[in-house]
Amino acid sequence: MLSIRGERVVLAKDVTRVGVVGFGLMGSGIAHVVARVGIDVTVVEPTEDLLARGRERLDASTGRAVERGRELDRVVGPDAVFASNTSSIPIATLASATSRPDRVVGLHFFNPPPAMDLIEVTPSLMTSADTVSFARRFGERLGKTTVLAKDEAGFIVNRLLIPYLCAAIRLLDEGLATREDIDMSIALGLNHPMGPLRLADLIGLDTVLQIADVLFDEFREPAYAPPPRLRRMVAAGRLGRKSGAGFYDYG
C-alpha cells in the first residue's frame, strides 16, 4: 500500500513525501519511480521474512494490507491519501478498514515499475472524485500514463492477460505445439515482445496462479480457471525467472 501525503485541496504537484509499505519487488520499483522525480520516499517493512518469495508472500499480503490500513490510519495525517498497488484485492475492502474511505484508491503499477509506462487507477464506490483526480495527476507527475478501471478483480490488464496465459498453458498440455513454437508464434505473429510462456515465467507463476484464483472466485468463468499444470509447477517451486526455472530454465 502506498500512502501519499497531500493537501486537503488535492494537488499532485504539492506532494513532497510518499510512504511505501513493503519493500519487495514491486515496492522497491515504485519507490524508485517516485524518488526519481524528486519526491522523498519513506519505506516501511515490518519483517524480512515477508519478502521471502512466491505465493507465501502474496497470500500474506492480502491479510497484511487490511491490517496495515488500520495501523496507517492512526499514524499518518488526516490529509493522506492511501493508494494500493494490488491487482486483486478489492479497493472497497481496503477502504472499509480506514476512517477515510473517500481517500483510498488503487494505483496499480506494472513490473518493473521504472520501465513500464502504465498505471491503472481504480476507485471504489466510496472514493471521492477529488481523490481520483489526484491519483491520475500524481501518476502523470511520475511520467506514467493512467487509465481508469472499475473496482473489479483484475482491472483491465489482468482480466485480459490471465485467460491468455492460461490458454497458452492449456495448448502446451494438449500437445498442440512445443513451448518454443507457442512463444514464437505470438512473438512473430502478433509482434509481442515475448510469447505467453516466457511472459508467465517473467511475471512469476505463483503470481499468475494467485490472480487466476482470484478471478475465477469472483467471476466463475472457465477461462479464468488455473490449468492443473500451473498449480503443480508452483507446488514444485518452479516459479519462473525468480526461482531459476519455470516453463524454461534460467540457470
Burial class of residue 138, CB neighbours in 10 A (0-12, 13-18, 19+): buried
DSSP 8-class letter at 224:
G
Q: How many domains does the chain have?
A: 2
Catalytic residue among 100, 108, 179, 198, which?
A: 108
Helix, strand or coil for residue 77?
Answer: coil
**71/250 Cα distance (integer angstroms):** 40
- Percentage of the chain modeled with pLDDT above 70: 84
pLDDT of residue 29: 75
Using CA atoms, how far apart are residues 1 and 21, in angstroms rounded to an integer? Answer: 5
Residue 36 lies in a domain: yes
The answer on pLDDT for 193 being more than 90 is yes
Digit-coded pLDDT (tens) for 50-83: 434 333 433 444 455 455 547 667 767 778 889 9
pTM for this model (two decimals): 0.74
Q: Where is average pLDDT lowest: 36-40, 60-64, 200-204?
A: 60-64
Domain carrying residue 169: 157-243
Q: Which residue has 516453463 as its cell numbers?
A: 247
CATH number at residue 169: 1.10.1040.10
Q: What is the CATH number of the domain that holds 91?
A: 3.40.50.720
142 lies in the same domain as 82: yes
For residue 86, list its beta bridge partners: none
Furthest-apart CA atoms within the chain: distance in Å:
58
Q: How far apart are the first and last CA of the chain?
A: 33
Question: For residue 54, what pLDDT is reported?
Answer: 30
Grid coordinates in use for 171? Answer: 495448448
Residue 108 annotated among the catalytic residues of the structure: yes
Q: To which residue does cell 521504472 refer?
A: 114
The predicted pLDDT at position 212 comes to: 96
User: Are 215 and 189 members of one domain?
Assistant: yes
224, part of any domain? yes
Q: Going by C-beta distance under 8 Å and a sequence separation of 6 or more, which residues neighbour residue 142?
A: 33, 34, 37, 119
